[in-house]
Chain A
């Protein structure tokens, strides 16, 4: 049992016992030792199932929707960014959300993990040791550098310690130095416009319009999504409709401009492996450079649409 898990349980128990909050949203062990699932503790006893380790990837802000009573969220940096974003957008009152920050050095990208590790047998446990992740199986253990098994967005994370928080469990860790240089976009940048169009044509053709990306995203909270509307019908329905796929995916990315916490939940949720984070990060770079705006990094920040800078006219992206 990791140190952080103990602290999270203790703090959650305290919050519920004192009556300070009515609910603690955190993680519990999932169906396998390398997965977690969201856990909702409303009694002190239920905090015994809480965990916090390298498997706790889900952005928990998605479960916070206009709470009437005080809720505590065990929040990584990206969860906190999302919480601040939705609070700024009227989806929760700041006074009703206790951001219990936890430091994060990256969360496991569990999709296809075993294949990638060449790990044919059952996994018994996953733990972090320094800069390594240790996967223990029935036939011995594999050690692997953390950056190789965490979600790609964790390798350029700018919020490894929650920027806005009410408290912090554990010790702060510094942001990744790569955060502002956008190494993940280098490949797209190197392409010509035509190559980029072809790349996205290929990627977006795969979309089956299951909207898992939308469901996983804390910033997607509209009562009715534009893509579900019929008057006008922005995007033709059904997978395989390239034009509709294009409208949906580009529309989604644009609607997330200045609102994406780079948690990677959309990409993690995508069953056909569309690199959605590339779109999100492309938008983040544009809005960051034009408006000096990063979603959820400060409580005072305005919504992107309310910002104006004379310099914005000069920013160009292909």
Chain B
């Protein structure tokens, strides 16, 4: 016969203000199987916990109910109490009479009644609790990092530093990511490459780090501790072992007018190329779609000039299969394409460019060698209009959110513009200025006061070509009235958006995306780098628009998570997962198709009674999150959730029906 103890917490006055806790305890004592009931001001305090432990021993309790706050807060606390007093830790149930009762109900009588009902349901469940045991799984102590930008590099370095092996998979031919495209960084104006390239080199040289560039994750299976991953390393057409990075091949390549992705289409590259001089690894790739050898079977110059005999036209994609214990997703962001923005010229005006294009223009090794030139005619731009929130905070054309970094990089652009051309004038249209980081507000003020940037509060309504200028119409909501500027160049602070293939990757990894398409964190405040899939973490702008310090901090946070995971001897999994009774299972696959975590496999079962082998469902406990979708879908009751069995749920419903007046 189960002996249940009920402990009603007052939570100071948080619960007691609308729930008569003494009455709840008094009534709970009369419930079936309840052997003891008590109330206390703070059950989670040391004294409260001691009270529970003593009561378990004194009253020989077999299970407990704590009616208090949400189990998300203190489930583990009370499981601990239960364990310390000699019971199995899972013989404890929480009834949430705070968030689900006292916080939301003012009428004391009704709130007390509801608290009793919630307690009674929990007691009915607790009376049917059974001891559960955690299962163990080994950990494969290698980390996979998807994305080789500053986030991926930082996470890789931190994990490698702790002594674990790391593989970085980067889609482009070089690591470095977005940060390698930037000229200077705000608010310190230090050279982006100068602070990034040492990290790139460090990652390249670290014996614990394996860099797989020009590669993509193709398939992910398994679970935390044991992710089985298939990586496709695209054919580079250049042997990485032999190549010395001398540059003869790309100097001689006759295909010289391919728009460079790295230079955001403002400059050209060759067909065999490295994206930028400091690329890591400094090994070129052949862009087969633009190479004459592959298009027309002509040329072959690169192979002829290569002193190391490294060019190999027959190279094929390589599939690398490996097992990892944890995955960090640091795939970064895309920049919003303003070509569907009719008011801003629909991408048809050459002198209207994006912020990241301007960034390349400012760079000394960029397409204009650091000069601010108009793409239309190559003349120097003197009057430059910057438009903030292009695609951000804009439900109609772009995204509802603020892209977070545009205020800052626009101020940086205005400063750098004046440094490059002291007679140039920047006009900045803005909605609000958001400068909430360390030194950020001062930076904005410098742009205004020291560098003479004209800030105009208001939106730009339209722009079009007027002679060789771009005529910009806007409104000045502070000064009042229309503003008309004939600009040499317009720079749109285009929104940060999720990678175009983020959705596909999220499906591959089994992690969710938010409404805007960024990867979902497990909790916005308390688990910002975790995902709902154990062992998969997110860093940087893949989660949401981030500046560099935030990105690096997140990356180190993911590394701490990974290292923490790897430092365990074995993985313990929560036992409150689904379980299939094969005798009841019809093999109808309702659970199999419903499971959001692919935790159910259909396996053969030797049914001796029916003298046949039939297919039945089988739960992979390491993948199961205990969500219960399978159990709800199962008609025969074969699939049940441990700690939430059909029997327990039915008992809860019965308990409620007993108390609710008809």
Q: Please, how many angstroms separate the alpha-carbon atoms of A225 and B612 in the complex?
A: 20
Chain B residues with Cβ below 8 Å from A303 are 589-590, 593-594
Given the interface pairs A222-B635, A303-B593, A305-B594, the reply to whether A232 lies near B650 with Cβ below 8 Å is yes
Asked if B81 is at the interface of the complex by the 8 Å CB criterion, the answer is: no
Interface string of A82-119 (1 = CB under 8 A from B): 00000011110000000000000000000000000000
Q: Is the CB of B584 within 8 A of A89?
A: no
**What sequence of 0s and 1s flags, for each residue 283-318 of chain A, a beta carbon within 8 Å of any chain B beta carbon?**
000000000000000000011011000000000000
The answer to whether A305 and B584 touch (CB under 8 A), given A66-B614, A90-B589, A231-B647, is no
Q: Which residues of B contact A232 (CB under 8 A)?
A: 646-647, 650-651
Contact with B615, one of A90, A231, A234 (Cβ below 8 angstroms): A90
Q: Mark A198-235, 1 if CB is under 8 A from B, else 0.
A: 00000000000000000000000111111001011010
Q: Is B587 an interface residue, CB under 8 A from the partner?
A: yes
Secondary structure call for the A interface: loop
The 17 sampled A-B contact pairs (Cβ below 8 Å) are A66-B614, A89-B588, A89-B589, A90-B586, A90-B587, A90-B588, A91-B586, A91-B588, A222-B636, A224-B583, A226-B635, A232-B646, A232-B647, A232-B651, A302-B593, A305-B593, A305-B594
B647 to chain A, nearest CB (A): 5
Q: Say whether, besides A66-B612, A222-B584, A222-B586, A234 and B635 are in contact (CB < 8 Å).
A: no
Residues of B contacting A223 in the complex (Cβ-Cβ under 8 angstroms): 583-586, 610, 636
Taking a contact as CB atoms under 8 Å apart, the answer to whether A226 and B647 are in contact is no
In Å, the complex CA distance between A303 and B634 comes to 12
Closest to A232 in B: B650
The smallest C-beta distance from B652 to any residue of chain A, in angstroms, reads 11
In the complex, B633 has a CB within 8 A of chain A: yes
List A contacts of B279 (CB < 8 A): none
The interface residues of chain B lying within 8 Å CB-to-CB of A70 are none
CA distance A257 to B474 in the complex (A): 58
Q: How far is the CB of A280 from chain B (nearest CB, A)?
A: 15
Chain A neighbourhood of B586, CB < 8 A? 89-91, 221-223
Residues of B within 8 A of A255 (CB): 635
Inter-chain CA distance A222–B635, complex, in Å, is 8
Contact with A along B298-327 (1 / 0, CB 8 A): 000000000000000000000000000000
* Residue tally, chain B, CB below 8 Å to A: 23
A42-84 interface with B by 8 A CB criterion: 66
Contact (Cβ within 8 A) A226 B637: yes
A-facing mask of B582-618, CB < 8 A → 1, else 0?
A: 0111111110011000000010000000101011000
Question: Is the beta-carbon distance between B650 and A234 smaller than 8 angstroms?
Answer: yes
Report Cα–Cα, A232/B586, bound state, in Å: 19
Residue of B nearest to A225 (CB): B636
CB-based nearest B residue for A88: B589
Q: A89-B588, A303-B593 are in contact. List 20 more A-B contacts (CB 8 A).
A: A89-B586, A90-B586, A90-B587, A90-B602, A91-B587, A221-B586, A221-B588, A222-B584, A222-B636, A223-B584, A223-B585, A223-B586, A225-B636, A226-B636, A229-B637, A232-B646, A232-B650, A232-B651, A305-B594, A306-B594
By a CB distance below 8 angstroms, the chain B residues around A89 are 586-590
Q: How far is the CB of B590 from chain A (nearest CB, A)?
A: 5
- CB under 8 Å from chain B, chain A span 159-216: none
A234 to B650, CA, bound (A): 8
Q: Are A306 and B593 in contact (CB under 8 A)?
A: yes
Q: Which residues of B contact A229 (CB under 8 A)?
A: 584, 637
Complex Cα–Cα for A306 and B593 (A): 5
Q: Which residues of A contact B650 (CB under 8 A)?
A: 232, 234
Assembly CA distance A255 to B635 (angstroms) = 6
Contacts of A226 on B, CB cut-off 8 Å? 635-637
Q: Which residues does chain B contribute within 8 Å of A91, judged by CB atoms?
A: 586-588
Residue of A nearest to B653 (CB): A232
Q: State in angstroms the CA–CA spacing of A306 and B637 once bound together.
A: 18
**Separation of A232 and B654 alpha carbons in the complex (Å):** 11
Closest to B648 in A: A232
In this complex, the member of B583, B610, B636 whose beta carbon has the largest number of chain A beta carbons within 10 angstroms is: B636
Alpha-carbon distance between A247 and B239 when the two chains are bound, in angstroms: 70
Residues of B within 8 A of A88 (CB): 589
Assuming the contacts A222-B586, A223-B584, asked whether A305 and B635 have C-beta atoms less than 8 A apart, the reply is no
* B16 → chain A closest CB, angstroms: 35
The B207-247 residues at the A interface (CB cut-off 8 A) are: none
* Nearest-neighbor residue (CB-CB) of B610 within chain A: A223
**Chain A contacts of B615 at CB under 8 A?**
90
B30 to chain A, nearest CB (A): 23
The 5 closest A-B pairs by CB, nearest first: A222-B636, A306-B593, A232-B650, A89-B588, A305-B633
Q: A66 vs B610: C-alpha distance in the bound complex, in angstroms?
A: 12
Tell me, in angstroms, the Cα distance from A303 to B602 when the chains sit together: 16
Q: Identify the closest chain A residue to B588 (Cβ).
A: A89
Among A90, A91, A303, the most chain B Cβ lie within 10 Å of the Cβ of A90
> Would you give the shortest CB distance from A231 to chain B, in whole angstroms?
6
Least CB distance from A86 to B in Å reads: 8
Contact A224 B636 (CB under 8 A): yes
Which residues on A sit within 8 Å (CB–CB) of B610? 223
Give the Cβ gap from B161 to chain A, nearest Cβ, in Å.
Answer: 43
Q: Which of the listed residues A88, A223, A232 has the most CB atoms from chain B within 10 Å of its own CB?
A: A223
A133 to B584 CA separation, bound complex (whole angstroms): 45
Select from chain B the residue with minimum beta-carbon distance to A90.
Answer: B587
Most chain A beta-carbon contacts within 10 A, residue among B584, B635, B651: B635
Task: For the complex, give the distance between the alpha carbons of A231 and B645 in Å.
Answer: 10
Q: Once bound together, how far apart are the Cα atoms of A90 and B647, in whole Å? A: 27
**Chain A residues within 8 Å of B602, by CB:** 90
Give A222 to B638 CA distance when docked, in angstroms.
10
Instruction: Please name the residue on chain B nearest to A229 by beta carbon.
Output: B637
Query: In whole Å, how far is B419's beta carbon from the nearest beta carbon of chain A?
Result: 51
Bound Cα distance from A88 to B589, whole angstroms: 8
Q: A305, B636: Cβ atoms under 8 Å?
A: no
A207 to B646, CA, bound (A): 25
CB under 8 Å from chain A, chain B span 415-438 = none
Contacts of B590 in A (CB 8 A): 89, 303, 305
| Chain A residues within an 8 Å CB radius of B589 | 88-90, 303
Question: For the complex, what is the distance from the CA of A115 to the CA of B594, rounded to whole Å?
Answer: 49
The interface bits of chain B over 620-648 (1 if a CB of A lies within 8 angstroms of the residue's CB, else 0) are: 00000000000001011100000000110
Tell me the nearest residue of chain B to A307, going by C-beta: B593
Per-position binary interface string of chain A over residues 228-272, scored 1 when its CB falls under 8 Å from any chain B CB and 0 otherwise: 010110100000000000000000000100000000000000000
Residues of chain B contacted by A305 (CB below 8 angstroms): 590, 593-594, 633
Give chain A nearest CB distance to B364 CB in angstroms.
Answer: 50
Residue of A whose beta carbon sits closest to that of B636 = A222
Cβ contact within 8 Å between B588 and A224: no
Quote the shortest CB–CB distance from A303 to chain B (angstroms): 5
Q: Give Cα A309–Cα B587 distance, bound, in whole angstroms.
A: 26
Q: From residue B638, how far is it (CB to closest CB) to chain A in Å? A: 8
Q: Which residue of B lies closest to A302 (CB)?
A: B593
Q: Which of A225, A231, A232 neighbours the largest number of chain B CB atoms within 10 Å of its CB? A: A232
Shortest distance from the beta carbon of B601 to any chain A beta carbon, whole Å:
13
Chain B residues whose C-beta falls within 8 Å of the C-beta of A302 in the assembled complex: 593
| Residue numbers in A under 8 Å from B584 (CB-CB) | 222-224, 229
- A86 — nearest CB in chain B belongs to which residue? B588
B429-453: which residues lie under 8 A (CB-CB) from chain A?
none
| Cβ-closest chain A residue relative to B594 | A305
Residues of A close to B587: CB separation below 8 A: 89-91
Residue of A at shortest CB range from B617? A90
Residues of A within 8 A of B633 (CB): 305
Nearest CB on B from A118, distance (A): 44
CA–CA, A232 and B585, complex, Å: 16
Question: How many angstroms from the CA of A254 to the CA of B89 in the assembled complex?
Answer: 37
B645 to A: closest C-beta gap in Å: 8
Residues of B contacting A224 in the complex (Cβ-Cβ under 8 angstroms): 583-584, 636
**CA of A89 to CA of B591, assembled, Å:** 11
Contacts of B647 in A (CB 8 A): 231-232
Q: Which residues of A contact B646 (CB under 8 A)?
A: 232
Complex CA gap A251/B657 in Å reads 19
> How many angstroms between the C-alpha atoms of A115 and B379 in the bound complex?
99
A255 closest partner in B (C-beta): B635
